[in-house]
Amino acid sequence: MGSAISFVTHDLPAFIGQTFPPAAKWSTDQIPDLTGFVCIVTGGNIGIGKETVKALLQHNAKVYLAARSQQRADEAIKDLQKDTGKEAIFLKLDLSDLKAIKAAAEEFLSKETKLHILFNNAGVMSCPVDLTTADGYDLQFGTNVLGHFYFTKLLLPTLLSTAETAPKGTVRIINTSSAAHYMSGLDFATFKDGPKRRKQNTDLLYCQSKLGNVVFTNELVRRYADKGLISISAHPGVIRSNLWQHSPKLTTKIMGSVMHPASKGALTQLYAGTAPEAADLNGKYLGPWAKEWSPKPLSNDPKLGKELWTWLEEQVKDL
């Protein structure tokens, strides 16, 4: 069963809400001047990530475009320079390899002492179940959740030190999730490769990873809100992008008529990351377009948040 069909059968209201959202009342024209801001966008070379980088550059931010492929990143940077007159900075980042994540963080920290906005935007969806990360984790959970957790963990000291001197509410972590998170719980036995994980449907493994993004966001709030860090999770909507590359052709054909362009998909996370009023949305879950949505109640469970955080810490403690 394809991703879109899963949405319909499991949670029709959520599917309708994400497919036919009301017209956007907020636009990238409302982004304030970001001169002096340092930002990172993971998966910034394509789709929603590229549109996010574009809007940040247009408003004078210094932007690190984090991606696996230097060739694809260089092409995106060249395109963005033509569009904006500004140049993003390539940061080599492979979220499916923990050692590569550490190298990426070290590279960034060798160049910068400040970080204002971290957009954990990159992701994979509906991958063949036999694909795993370099470290043996489910490719979707390992990339979407563990990879971003480790990258964020390594950057947290810089984010927190930036929050000490930056204007209140401007230092933020934005985690890209999905309405797919409504369709899942967290089964810790499937995070790493093994017999139980291999019996799972790839779409459900994706849904699980997107719930993990929201749970991680809410735990960040519990741990760091009092230190001036804003953390928000965002669902971009049903967007036309390469995220669908592993989905069945029937699914993408059905979804084609309701998909929105990547520029619209970037709206909600850009609002979460830059709008002054979004400083009051710490720990919230936003949907299209820049609207506050109610996440799955399980995502706000402090016990689950602590359990996931502990598991994530265990995976990277010896790196």
The helix/strand/coil state of 45 is coil
In percent, how much of the chain has pLDDT > 90? Answer: 77
Going from the C-alpha of 40 to that of each of 62, 118, 196, 250, the distances in angstroms are 9, 5, 35, 35
Q: What is the fold of 3-17+39-316?
A: Rossmann fold (3.40.50)
The residues facing 296 across adjacent strands are none
pLDDT classification of 8: cutoffs 50, 70, 90: very low
DSSP string, 184-238: ----GGGSBSSHHHHTS-HHHHHHHHHHHHHHHHHHHHHHHGGGT-EEEEE---S
* Strand arrangement of the beta sheet that strand 291-293 belongs to: 89-92, 62-67, 38-42, 117-120, 172-176, 230-234, 285-287, 291-293
- The one catalytic residue in 137, 182, 206, 271 is 206
Q: Say what the pLDDT of residue 186 is.
A: 96
186-215 as b/e: b if 16+ CB within 10 A: beeebbbbeeebeeeebbbbbbbbbbbbbb
Q: Using CA atoms, how far apart are residues 152 and 108, in angstroms rounded to an integer?
A: 12
Q: Please report the pLDDT score of residue 127 as a whole number.
A: 85
pLDDT at 171: 98
Residue 10 has pLDDT above 60, yes or no: no
Is residue 177 among the annotated active site residues? yes
Per-residue tokens: 227: 């230190």
Mean pLDDT of 54-76: 97
Q: Which of 192, 210, 264, 284 is the catalytic position? A: 210
Is the full-model pTM beyond 0.75?
Answer: yes
47 φ, ψ (degrees, to nearest 5) = 60, -135
- Going from N- to C-terminal start, the domains of the chain cover 3-17+39-316
- What average pLDDT does this structure show over 144-148? 98
Confidence of residue 5 (pLDDT cuts 50, 70, 90): very low
Catalytic residue among 3, 6, 177, 241: 177
125 pLDDT band, cuts 50/70/90, is confident
210 an active-site residue?
yes
Closest to 196 measured CA to CA, from 134, 138, 118, 116: 138
